[in-house]
Amino acid sequence: MTTSRVWLAVVCAIVAALVPATATADPGAQVAGEVGLGGRAAQIDVYSPAMGRVIENKVIKAAGAGAPTLYLLTGAGGGSDGISWWDNTGVRHFFADKFVNVVMPVGGAFTLYTDWISDDPGVGRVRWETYLTQELPGVIDRTLSTSGRNAIAGVSMSAASALDLAIQSGPRFSAVAAMSGCPWAADPLGIAMASAQAVRGGGNPGNMWGLPGGPVWQQHDVFANAGRLAGKTLFLSAATGVPGPADRGLPMPPVEAIAGTCTAAFAGRLGQLGIPATYLHRPTGSHTWGQFETDLYEAWPHLAAAIGA
């Protein structure tokens, strides 16, 4: 065989090898399906390349194009358990006349909505930070013709996650609300509290952020990295755990009392750094959806002003 024929054979082999890979290339984050839920509400399913699966999102659409977006995260069960803003509050009615798209992802139970460094036998492939800060916003912006301005809010487990996601994603979110949660630090107490969430879901905390107190834990220490929240609109709220008039459902006084202590500490940290924040410490409230809903509506004017809603 001549030299030219050898090279021709090599080129043909390379092309043959590349064609199947091109044909099966990852299409990127995109809408995988949409179902109307009445009015301007819809379930928009989005394929996440990072996690290799489709994620369900409950969405309340704004009345027209050019509206900003509020990403609203739920508690420890991720909404897959039927416990969420969508299921347990009147957000659909509250935001019906607001010029904002409200996106409520379903899933992420006990994951802290972060990127885990390793796949886990208990919770699988977890890349929620990538999904929430890169994949989903891009799809929502294209699909709903948004303004590109975003806020994020979390409650209970996701309160600290909302702060962390705002820190990790730079300018993606210009406003953050953290309600009845426990912002964590990479100290023994913070490590124990964050790890407990992963363990509740059957996951190994070592697969989440690696060696306790190590570099990845330090990266997600919201106290140490609080300075990166400067310039954003911040709303923090928690209560004492004493049942009050806003409560609905089963009161959980110890949980809210802990959240109140954690939130007060983080508010103090922001104060030390000279970072403005609205901090609401309620004299009553016991970690119920009635309390969470009341605090969200209290937070909304602050978020709206920041994103132009």
CB atoms under 10 Å from CB of 97, counted, come to 7
Domains of the chain as residue ranges with CATH: 29-307 (3.40.50.1820)
In this structure, what token pair is assigned to residue 11? Answer: 């080129």
pLDDT at residue 8 in the model: 33
pLDDT at residue 195 in the model: 96
pLDDT at residue 14 in the model: 30
Q: What is the pLDDT along the chain (309 residues), one digit of tens a residue?
A: 443 343 333 333 332 333 333 334 567 999 999 999 999 999 999 999 999 999 999 999 999 999 999 999 999 999 999 999 999 999 999 999 999 999 999 999 999 999 999 999 999 999 999 999 999 999 999 999 999 999 999 999 999 999 999 999 999 999 999 999 999 999 999 999 999 999 999 999 999 999 999 999 999 999 999 999 999 999 999 999 999 999 988 899 999 999 999 999 999 999 999 999 999 999 999 999 999 999 999 999 999 999 999
Residues composing the chain: 309
pLDDT at residue 250 in the model: 87
Alpha-carbon Rg for the chain, nearest whole angstrom, is 22
pTM of the full structure = 0.91
Please check whether residue 180 is in contact with residue 291, taking contact to mean a CB–CB distance below 8 angstroms.
yes
Please check whether residue 306 is in contact with residue 174, taking contact to mean a CB–CB distance below 8 angstroms.
yes
DSSP 123: T
**CA-angle at 59, arms to 53 and 60, nearest 5°:** 175
Place of tokens 């959240």: 259
pLDDT at residue 27 in the model: 74
Orientation of helix 157-168 relative to helix 253-273, angle to 10°: 30
Q: Which strands form 233-239's sheet, in the order they lie side by side?
A: 30-36, 41-48, 53-60, 101-106, 69-72, 150-155, 175-179, 233-239, 278-282
How many Cα atoms are found within 13 Å in the side-chain-facing hemisphere of 303?
28
pLDDT at residue 24 in the model: 43
pLDDT at residue 248 in the model: 87
Give the CA distances from residue 118 to residues 47, 170, 205, 209, in Å, rounded to whole numbers and listed in that order: 20, 24, 10, 9
Q: Is 112 helix (H, G, I), strand (E, B) or coil?
A: coil
